[in-house]
Structure 1
């Protein structure tokens, strides 16, 4: 039983179409696998970057906290020195101010 010549060409075309469909399906699967792999790799990179940035942020918070505490201690010491200087100035000039006030009170114009 021989296949007519026209039928042989059709069979070859059908086989070629099936092969092409298999190649396309294989390529689609490979592409989907590559996309999935790329997505997973990107997610890992994002997670690593996020962890790195969070660690930097936490370190900066610790550094700023220490810096803020040092700054507050410096400001408190400076304020204490200023208050002490004012109190000393008051004590040094207290007697002069009392004498000046007494002089003004006693010097009444009539």
Structure 2
């Protein structure tokens, strides 16, 4: 019997050591996973920064900077406003003359409803 209890004790001790080794292995695995995630995130961040740098270079090369775009828009707006002012100045006198003609040159005419009624019933009027 004593040999059986000694054998059981050895088995329990071996089981305990195995459980500890398994726990240690799980901890190492979890640590390796965390480290791998950190390394992957660092690599992703590095790649993202590189791509953003390339995009900014491309944007500056082909589109220009934000200030350049704003300056171009301002210049185009000023040019179109100047063109409109030239058109207004050139046509201002003609518009005034036309308005005066429309206001001052009055031709009395019957309203079209009254003209229609007169054509339909000439004896009532």
Q: When the two structures are superposed, what TM-score results if normalisation uses the length of structure 2?
A: 0.58
**1:82 offset after TM fit, Å?**
4.0
Whole-angstrom CA distance in 1 between matches of 2:52 and 2:84: 41
Alignment of 1:91 with 2:82, yes or no, is no
CA RMSD of aligned residues (A): 3.2
| Structure possessing the higher relative contact order (Cα contacts under 8 Å, 6 or more residues apart) | 2
Whole-angstrom CA distance in 2 between matches of 1:50 and 1:36: 21
Whole-angstrom CA distance in 2 between matches of 1:44 and 1:82: 56
More helix by share: 1
The within-5 A match list for 1:1-110 is 10-59=1-50, 67=59, 70=64, 72=66, 73-74=68-69, 76-105=71-100, 107=101, 108-109=104-105
**1:75 offset after TM fit, Å?**
5.4
- The count of corresponding residues between Structure 1 and Structure 2 is 100
Q: When the two structures are superposed, what TM-score results if normalisation uses the length of structure 1?
A: 0.64
Structure 1 residue ranges without an equivalent (≥5): 1-9
